[in-house]
Amino acid sequence: MSVQKGETGEEGEEGEEKEGEGGEAKGEGKREGEGEGEGEGEGEGEGEESPDRNVSLFCWEPSLERNIGEKIKKTKPFFVPGFSPKEVTVFNPAGNTYYYWLLIITIPVMYNWTLIIARASFEELQSDYVVYWFFLDFLADLVYLADMFFRTRTGYLEQGLLVKDELKLRERYMNSFQFKLDLVSMIPTDVLYVIVGLKYPEIRLNKLLRFNRLQEFFQRTETRTNYPNALRISSLVMYIVIIIHWNACLYYSFSKAIGFGSDRFVYPDPSDPEFGRVVRKYAYSMYWSTLTLTTIGETPPPVENSEYFFVVTDFLVGVLIFATIVGNVGSMITNMNAARADFQARIDAIKQYMTFRKVSKDLEKRVIKWFDFLWTNKKAVDEREVLKYLPDKLRAEIAINVHLDTLKKVRIFADCEAGLLVELVLKLQPQVYSPGDYICKKGDIGREMYIIKEGKLAVVADDGVTQFVVLSDGSYFGEISILAIKGSKAGNRRTANIRSIGYSDLFCLSKDDLMEALKEYPDAKALLEEKGRQILMKDGLLDLEVAAQGPDPKEMEEKVERMTVDLDVLLTRYARLMAEHEAIHHKLKHRVTKLEGKLQPPSPVETQSF
């Protein structure tokens, strides 16, 4: 690696070897102007100056380049050899500290956006509490200043890693447009109070440039809260109030410029005791602003030309802003009711089908009750539909967090390796049963096993009334039948009637899903079958003679068929890949031929003809 433009790679290697010898190389240098440098190097037993070392202070050592990860633009040579980037305490934009700081900076932003215009419009508000305003303004400026420092410590992701280099963080912030806005907002315009007097707080309007911090706070809160729709409506109402507030202040200032009480449009004369208090002034102005911007009421008509222009501007702004707001509110309400509307559409479709097929009223009532239970207990959401947008790893982590403990309760899965459990967890399907529903009946073919998440099931006699055992949360059944263990006296048939006592929430694992997962875990499959045999032997349900026999010809035939199907799939994929390879090869060969024709020099005969 070259250490500097103009130096060879060998010189860079020599510099590294000097540091690895008995003494470390040290350099001292003076810089006269940008781009010049001198240096002296002392090694073990060396005291000579190297002419190339004049440039080395201006370059980056290989170790520095490895630390920073990229070549850095050459500016003024203020780095010395052996420098490493300084890591400081960095705030992660996705962390809690950053979020809480946004909450803090939001307070002075709201203070400036609401009170600067109010103090500028209503003189009594400024003059009566000027000391308090000075103190609050000073605190707000301190928080603004701290926010600039906070931005220099806010990390960002580079190649998936949080950058913690102080120099890079500061440089990134100072080169951003946000830094220019922050710098303008920190201009000490308060010194103009000395010139214009204390009655003009509008000189602090530059403090309004931090509004994006307020927006960022609401955006991050929206991703954190469990009630995003309520937050969206609240923030929208806040923006509406701020717009009406500003328009009210502008109306009062406009009335003051024309003359209070000069006509019916402007604010009445404050010398009237009824309209002299600052609370009445603000309330009247807010009332006028709300009626004008929302266009839902009548206000005194304008008289002067300037008043007409003011009202026209207000109407245009009101139409544009509130049309946008109404549209947003409509979309929010639609989103809030989207789940309910979709669920109701499913119920309506089922009702129409049952009416068309003339289903009995009793069964129809049970279906409607089942839907009501799903909606009331918030179980109407399809988990697969919700989680399908997540990457496989995150989806697996959520499934493990929710279902793994339940799956481990099953005896045959207790000692399985973690990879198989993860595969099975992703294949668990939730099912809800109504009171009186049969989960399985004696003699049915067992294609699924069940784990009870919530509710109670009863093992009943053939009459459906006599209860032998009640199964509760965490219980499971059907695990032996889906393994199809050879020698089982019951085969893959159900040996009992199981009925739901109330509403029951179960997890279902099908035989096909289990066998698909076991394809990649042959040892686990053998272990599960052995556990199943032990359970059957313990219960006296295993025929040892049949179990000791060799492989079933039918099973072998099924395995051969599956292998044949898999081989056909592989051959099809191979043929497709070969066809693509031939097409690409032909295309590249054609392009190479064309390029050779363009690059071939003209023949002597063609040259002579010219």
Question: Does residue 81 surpass a pLDDT of 60?
Answer: no
User: What percent of the chain stands above pLDDT 70?
Assistant: 82
Over residues 35-50, mean pLDDT = 40
Over residues 90-108, mean pLDDT = 94
Residue type, 55: V
Task: Give burial (CB, 10 Å; 0-12/13-18/19+) of 303.
Answer: middle
* Domain ranges (residues) in the chain: 87-224, 226-381, 430-548
Residues 337/343/348/354 CA torsion (nearest 10 deg)? -170
Q: Give which of 506, 482, 502, 501 is closest to 493, Cα–Cα.
A: 482
Binned at pLDDT 50, 70 and 90, residue 55 comes out as very low
Question: According to the model, what pLDDT value does residue 85 have?
Answer: 58
Do 252 and 121 contact (CB within 8 A), yes or no? yes
Average pLDDT of the residues of the chain = 81
Question: Does residue 254 surpass a pLDDT of 80?
Answer: yes
Binned at pLDDT 50, 70 and 90, residue 604 comes out as low
Question: According to the model, what pLDDT value does residue 547 have?
Answer: 64
DSSP type of residue 273: G
Over residues 442-471, mean pLDDT = 90
Q: How far apart are CA 255 and CA 265, in angstroms?
A: 8
Question: According to the model, what pLDDT value does residue 531 have?
Answer: 81
What DSSP string runs through 173-226? HHTSHHHHHHHHHTS-GGGGHHHH-TT-GGGGGGGGGGHHHHHHHHHHHHHH-S
What lies within 8 Å, CB to CB, of 507 at 6+ separation is 403, 406, 428, 429, 430, 431, 450, 451, 453
Which residue bears the tokens 């946008």?
Answer: 324
Q: Give which of 452, 511, 457 is closest to 479, Cα–Cα.
A: 511
Q: How many alpha carbons fall within 13 Å on the CB side of residue 411?
A: 14
**Which of left, alpha, beta for 156 (phi over 0: left; psi -120 to 50: alpha)?**
beta
Binned at pLDDT 50, 70 and 90, residue 474 comes out as confident
Q: How far apart are CA 369 and CA 436, in angstroms?
A: 13
Across 7-11, 37-41, 457-461, the highest mean pLDDT is recorded for 457-461
The pair phi, psi for residue 33, each rounded to 5°, is 80, 170
Question: Does residue 6 surpass a pLDDT of 80?
Answer: no
Question: Does residue 172 surpass a pLDDT of 90?
Answer: yes
Over residues 266-277, mean pLDDT = 90
Binned at pLDDT 50, 70 and 90, residue 453 comes out as confident
Residue 589 has a CB neighbour count (10 Å cut-off) of: 10
Binned at pLDDT 50, 70 and 90, residue 608 comes out as low
Please state which of the ranges 76-90, 296-310, 364-378, 397-411 shows the lowest mean pLDDT.
76-90
Over residues 579-584, mean pLDDT = 92
Taking each helix axis from N to C terminus, what angle separates 130-152 and 177-185, rounded to the nearest 10 degrees? 160
Question: According to the model, what pLDDT value does residue 40 have?
Answer: 40
Question: According to the model, what pLDDT value does residue 329 have?
Answer: 81
Please state which of the ranges 73-87, 113-127, 228-242 shows the lowest mean pLDDT.
73-87
Please state which of the ranges 167-181, 265-279, 302-316, 390-404 shows the lowest mean pLDDT.
390-404
Q: What is the pTM of this model?
A: 0.63
290-306 tens-digit pLDDT: 999 887 778 888 999 99
CA distances from 356 to 260, 353, 365 (A): 73, 5, 15
497-511 tens-digit pLDDT: 999 999 998 989 998
What DSSP string runs through 516-530? HHHTT-HHHHHHHHH
Question: According to the model, what pLDDT value does residue 279 have?
Answer: 94
Do 169 and 90 contact (CB within 8 A), yes or no? yes
Q: Give which of 69, 56, 63 is closest to 11, Cα–Cα.
A: 56
Question: Does residue 145 surpass a pLDDT of 90?
Answer: yes
Question: Does residue 351 surpass a pLDDT of 80?
Answer: yes
Over residues 411-417, mean pLDDT = 77
Q: What angle do CA 23, 27, 31 make, to 5 degrees?
A: 180
Q: Which fold has domain 430-548?
A: Jelly Rolls (2.60.120)
**Which of left, alpha, beta for 82 (phi over 0: left; psi -120 to 50: alpha)?**
left
Question: According to the model, what pLDDT value does residue 250 have?
Answer: 96
Which has the higher per-residue pLDDT, 93 or 523?
93
User: What percent of the chain stands above pLDDT 90?
Assistant: 37
Tokens of 535: 């359970």
Question: Does residue 87 surpass a pLDDT of 70?
Answer: no
Binned at pLDDT 50, 70 and 90, residue 1 comes out as very low
Question: Does residue 325 surpass a pLDDT of 90?
Answer: no
Question: Does residue 169 surpass a pLDDT of 80?
Answer: yes
Q: Give which of 217, 98, 206 is closest to 151, Cα–Cα.
A: 98
Please state which of the ranges 401-405, 481-485, 551-555 shows the lowest mean pLDDT.
551-555
Which has the higher per-residue pLDDT, 55 or 441?
441
Question: Does residue 399 surpass a pLDDT of 80?
Answer: yes
Question: According to the model, what pLDDT value does residue 403 have?
Answer: 80
Tokens of 91: 């705030």
Question: Does residue 58 surpass a pLDDT of 60?
Answer: no
What lies within 8 Å, CB to CB, of 479 at 6+ separation is 410, 411, 412, 449, 532
Question: According to the model, what pLDDT value does residue 603 have?
Answer: 59
Question: According to the model, what pLDDT value does residue 412 have?
Answer: 74
193-249 tens-digit pLDDT: 989 888 899 999 999 999 999 999 999 999 999 888 889 889 988 999 999 999 999
Q: Give which of 44, 53, 45, 50 is closest to 81, Cα–Cα.
A: 53
What lies within 8 Å, CB to CB, of 470 at 6+ separation is 456, 457, 458, 459, 501
Over residues 302-317, mean pLDDT = 92
Give Rg (Cα) of the chain: 39
Q: How far apart are CA 97 and CA 101, in angstroms?
A: 6
- Start-to-end C-alpha separation, the chain: 50
Binned at pLDDT 50, 70 and 90, residue 341 comes out as confident
63-73 tens-digit pLDDT: 444 444 444 44
Which has the higher per-residue pLDDT, 26 or 94?
94
